[in-house]
Chains A and B, each alone.
Chain A
């Protein structure tokens, strides 16, 4: 287990280095002059030159990359071209809100998705299955933008129970996480159902039932545990995506997350922030993959032996 983890960590470093080269080059391939965009429409060309010097865009691409790599390894992620604040604080201020939103959304979505998926799987073909799948398709089809505004209109404007948005206290987490989790829950429900149905047809499940294992044990210990593997992969992927920010939900609820930061930074070609965020997302994904692989081993002893 330990060698497994260490080998994976080594691979992680290589992945991150490759990502840093790609992002660095790719971001500079985008058309548009970052200094001009940041300086704004009222700026004369001398103003723009001043901004360009401030952004450190001199030197060849290789020189810039070496400077960037050196600074990053020393923990200096530079300053945002747009706000002049350190990138670390720009990202840091938005990391916790994004994490809370992700945890809350994934929390209820995983629970709801798994439960609905299992019920559908167990009662496949019957009315519980049909109803659950209709709800699931709706969840995937509702645009989160529309669902969010609907929830605001109902719970904030008409009922006055919850705030319309912003990041102040646990109450402001409810509507955004409901909106964000809706699609995830729906996808998880359908996926869990198919994974469950596939496993339920296996011989060992029939054997367990024939052996006399109570139905509850058949469902949870034998079927679900094996069906969980692909489901865990999906949960990990969704978690990773959400950690990258949820631009639509963040916009509708004025939630200070990493998604909007990335979009705003790309619009303004704010290189330091774009590079840092993408590096962060890659790191998160790699770590999540690592955790997911370890979870496989926990759920399925066969994997441990490999």
Chain B
């Protein structure tokens, strides 16, 4: 016994010393919030999986860290004035991770794969307007659309149209979802829903990149545990970092808190087909009744900005409209004028998350001050989507007010306006749950798609936003700010406005 004891202590000491894992100098671990169900970009619906795919895959075009459109696998594109013919001039000398050359045939294979209805790929709508794809020569592809679609180049920057190696597609079939083979800065190593490992692509076409040897994504749903990972050095970048952890993170000298703008807008959708929201004065009154600055302070701890247009500033063709100032007296006056001097009762729907409930309770208090009595009804995600999006006829919609948000994943004003405010987008087609219909707004939204000319599109969307802002089908609230935490040794990892992560330029010191 006397000999055993010191030996046990020694063994314990060695074990404990070995417990602090020695991470090689250039391995990046990114802690994220949820699992990554699979890695087929044409079937992916969540920003996180798209971020992971972005390390291994690229499309003809891409986004920089501010969601500006940049060329990627295509060097440039020629568009005709009818916005129906797109000729992409491809980059030379690019190969997939398995050695297959990237060329016009690969583009054709990939686009046709997503277009094919028998593949049941959920991102098919990105290319459903394509009539045919023609290979003009090994580095030139012509895509012909069946109808004008000015935002088509943005669709080619969406992860849904990332280019997969045709050889890998043939080899893996459906299992390509767990064996990604692309042209990106990192190559696939292993997949588990909570851990995806990638390694440096030695023959990446951008010189000097990447700077790290491996990138691993680890899913850690509990934000306290994710923060602990950053503190122990198990991860060098975590996203998102909840607002309550910003101060503790800033207090730690080896860590940095990164705050960046997003394209996530939060607003209150009003059912403009039902009384009392069919009256413009009521909608205006509700906009005047909310103190937006207080909203961002109380609901988002100050990490949000006030909406000043129907779409967020980082979205293409954003046009600043102004403000709906906080004026409860004016709100009450408008309500009286509209025939509701004593206000009215209404149900407010929303999600069951803490943030959503906080927002709804805040709005309830603000509206109570002008006589509008709100009953807050948090609904589970499946129930909420059924009640909002599965309604077949507008008359059957039971929604009165819904606290919700939207992020246009194409980075373009079209997807920020058309699915939500176009009269042909009533559920179940798309998501115009406010049932807003304005002939002038419709015309402007259509004009925005009818041409690929940047100035024509800008003018059209400016007009659409002005009309919508005045019509106030929503109570315009806030735009999220994104918060991430990183080790001071890390640079070059960016939290993009759509919530995605860009790790191409990651550098560890």
Contacts and interface: CB of A to CB of B under 8 A. Distances in A.
A198 interface: no
B409 interface: yes
Interface string A26-40: 000011111011111
Interface size class of A (residues with CB under 8 A): 35 or more
B225 A50 contact: no
A161 B194 CA distance: 23
Interface stretch (B89-97, B228-236, B439-447): B228-236
A45 B424 CA distance: 12
A254 B128 contact: no
Interface of B: 16, 19-21, 35, 37-38, 40, 43, 45-46, 117, 120-125, 128, 174, 177-178, 192-195, 218-222, 224-225, 228-229, 231-232, 234, 380-383, 385-387, 389-390, 406, 409, 415, 428-431
Q: Of residues B124, B128, B222, B415, which shows the largest number of chain A Cβ atoms within 10 Å of its Cβ?
A: B222
Contact of B194 (A152, A156, A256): A256
Given A44-B429, A85-B38, A267-B382, A160 B19 contact: yes
Closest 7 CB pairs of A and B: A32-B382, A40-B45, A83-B37, A50-B120, A254-B220, A54-B120, A44-B125
B19 A171 contact: yes
A93 interface: yes
Given A83-B193, A252-B225, A37 B385 contact: yes
A53 B124 CA distance: 14
Given A157-B228, A254-B218, A30 B123 contact: no
A302 interface: no
Contacts of B415: 42
A58 interface: no
B386 A32 contact: yes
26 contacts: A32-B381, A32-B386, A33-B390, A34-B382, A36-B385, A41-B406, A42-B45, A42-B123, A44-B125, A50-B120, A83-B38, A149-B222, A157-B232, A160-B19, A160-B232, A162-B19, A163-B21, A164-B225, A164-B228, A164-B229, A166-B195, A253-B225, A260-B221, A264-B35, A267-B381, A268-B382
B221 A251 contact: yes
Contacts of B20: 160
Interface string A213-257: 000000000000000000000000000000000000001111010
A165 interface: yes
B120 A163 contact: no
Contacts of B431: 41
B222 A254 contact: yes
A137 to B, nearest CB: 25
Nearest to B382: A32
B231 A157 contact: yes
A209 interface: no
A149 B120 contact: no
Contacts of B35: 264
B385 A47 contact: no
Contact of A30 (B46, B221, B382, B387): B382
A166 B218 contact: yes
A199 to B, nearest CB: 36
A121 B221 CA distance: 41
Given A164-B225, A254-B225, A39 B386 contact: no
A123 interface: no
Contacts of B192: 93, 256
A51 interface: yes
Nearest to B45: A40
A82 interface: yes
Interface in A159-187: 160-166, 171
Contacts of A163: 19, 21, 232, 234
A30 B221 CA distance: 25
Contacts of A39: 45, 122
A50 B42 CA distance: 13
Given A40-B46, A83-B38, A254-B220, A269 B232 contact: no
A121 B140 CA distance: 84
A76 interface: no
B19 A161 contact: yes
A153 B415 CA distance: 43
B37 A82 contact: yes
Interface in A134-160: 148-149, 152-153, 156-157, 160
A33 to B, nearest CB: 6
Given A85-B38, A156-B228, A164-B225, A43 B125 contact: yes
A84 B174 contact: yes
B45 A43 contact: yes
Nearest to B195: A166
B382 A37 contact: yes
A161 B18 CA distance: 9
Nearest to B220: A254
